[in-house]
Amino acid sequence: MAEGPRPAPGTYRVALLLPRRGPSGMFGPACRAAAELAAAEVERDGGVGGRRLELVDVDAGAEPAAVAREVAALVGTGAVDAVTGWHLSTVRRAVAPAVAGRVPYVYATAYEGGERHDGVLCSGELPGEQVVAALRWLGEQAGLRRWFVVGDDYVWPRATARRVARALAAGGTALTGSRFVPLGCDDEATWRAAVDACARSGADGVLMLLVGTDGVRFNRAFAAAGLDAAMSRFSPFMDETMLLASGPDATRGLFASAGWFAGLPGASAAEFSRGFATAFDLLAGAGPVGAPTAPAPGTMAEATYSAVRLLAGLGGGDRPGVQHVRRALAGAAWDSPHGTVQLRRGVAGHPVHVALADGVGFDVLARVSGTGGPPGASG
């Protein structure tokens, strides 16, 4: 178990929880590059309350209980001053009670809602703005009103499906059924059975609540069955990394929603994309000279970048502590590459966009919720 040295007086050490394995491990390299970019910018701007920012890596792809023990040891020995990163809700639910009231914890990932532990700030999108608003827009604009859920069997997909079903109950859009599969499933028969369930559902489309490689496997099975010619797909957890892994032949008719897409207009979006490319190439060993090797930054990377920047600035000119998180939860705002995020009563409100896959990239169609930030086409 990593405990690490105690921070030097002039440093602010942050446990950076990113997955290196499991179905979400595919996002780890991009998230790490985004965190490095954020840290470099924080240093350029004077550090964290005048202290040098250091990132302490923790593999959030391990079993949640093991991640929580490692983070608790780092906090307990004074080896880190705060926690952040992009990781699944299973990990957050283990880590949050272990650090509650002790150090700030900025959780970067879009999640199901309901987090109440002391000192935990969830900066990602919630189902109401990211899923419900997008499904309503797809119903109005594309006539897609009946959705069958295929999700991973853990808290985020199940809780999100319940919240979405309740929110849509009074309108003309509905969830007609569901199928949940084990997280990290690599059994081809299970994915074929999930696709068969979609085909039998009679729905207009599939609401994909699948993570990383699970979403990739489903996309490939869906296209292999020819179902992409008959049904649409929508995911609030699909980024350019997953499109690239799925392949252009497996992404036809695939919609997604998020605060960030690499194709968003605006100076701040372009600046982040340029900085990310440089940071990724440096971490990959390509160096700043020659042809770039970096992929397009996905929403997971952008969320990580924004969380590190948010955490570093929570204290203003002071060392960020739990008291600063409590103050921010009452009402705060911060800039991100996809626009201004408003935090009110612990709920982060994002400008959220709907996009349609175009091969291994996204075509942004509309902004469906949020009032800040660079707009897509009005929907």
Residue 5 domain-assigned? no
Q: Is 335 helix (H, G, I), strand (E, B) or coil?
A: strand
193 and 84 in a common domain: no
| Average pLDDT score over residue span 330-342 | 96
Q: Are 101 and 322 in contact (CB under 8 A)?
A: yes
155 and 103 in a common domain: no
Q: Which two tokens stand for residue 40?
A: 């470099």
pLDDT score for 176: 96
170 and 105 in a common domain: no
| pTM for the predicted model, two decimal places | 0.93
Q: Is the pLDDT of residue 204 over 60?
A: yes
Residue 288 domain-assigned? yes
Q: Is the pLDDT of residue 58 over 60?
A: yes
Domains in the chain, number: 2
162 and 147 in a common domain: yes
> pLDDT (tens digit, 9 = 90+) per residue, 77-105?
999 999 999 999 999 999 999 999 999 99
111 and 142 in a common domain: no
CA gap 23, 178 in Å, rounded: 21
pLDDT score for 244: 95
The parent domain of residue 290 ranges over 11-125+266-345
Span of 148-152, 181-185, 300-304, 342-346 with lowest mean pLDDT: 342-346
Strands (E) located in 100-183: 105-107, 120-122, 146-152, 174-181
Residue 179 domain-assigned? yes
Q: Is the pLDDT of residue 231 over 50?
A: yes
Q: For residue 379, what pLDDT band results from cuts at 50, 70 and 90?
A: very low
Q: Which two tokens stand for residue 73?
A: 């040891």
DSSP 114: -
| Average pLDDT score over residue span 267-283 | 94
Instruction: Give the angle 95-96-99 at the CA atoms, nearest 5°.
Output: 85
223 and 136 in a common domain: yes
324 and 178 in a common domain: no
CA gap 365, 342 in Å, rounded: 23
pLDDT score for 239: 95
143: alpha, beta or left, given left = phi > 0 and alpha = psi -120 to 50?
Answer: left
Kindly report the number of other CB atoms within 10 A of residue 263's CB atom.
Answer: 17
82: alpha, beta or left, given left = phi > 0 and alpha = psi -120 to 50?
Answer: beta
CA gap 154, 209 in Å, rounded: 10
Residue 374 domain-assigned? no
Residue 376 domain-assigned? no
CA gap 207, 233 in Å, rounded: 6
358 backbone dihedrals φ, ψ, rounded to 5°: -130, 90
> pLDDT (tens digit, 9 = 90+) per residue, 263-274?
999 999 999 999
357 and 226 in a common domain: yes
135 and 18 in a common domain: no
pLDDT score for 347: 92
Residue 2 domain-assigned? no
| DSSP one-letter string for 223-262 | HHTTGGGT-EEEESS--HHHHHHH-GGG-TTEEEEES--T
Q: Is the pLDDT of residue 287 over 90?
A: no
Residue 82 domain-assigned? yes
Q: For residue 341, what pLDDT band results from cuts at 50, 70 and 90?
A: very high
191 and 154 in a common domain: yes
CATH code of the domain covering residue 210: 3.40.50.2300
CA gap 300, 39 in Å, rounded: 17
Q: For residue 181, what pLDDT band results from cuts at 50, 70 and 90?
A: very high
Residue 4 domain-assigned? no
Write the CB contacts of 151 (distance below 8 Å, at least 6 apart in sequence).
157, 158, 160, 161, 178, 179, 180, 181, 207, 208, 209, 210
pLDDT score for 142: 96
Q: What amino acid is encoded at 70 in this protein?
A: E
254 and 141 in a common domain: yes
Q: What is the largest CA-CA distance in the chain?
A: 62
Q: Which two tokens stand for residue 32?
A: 């790490």
240 and 144 in a common domain: yes
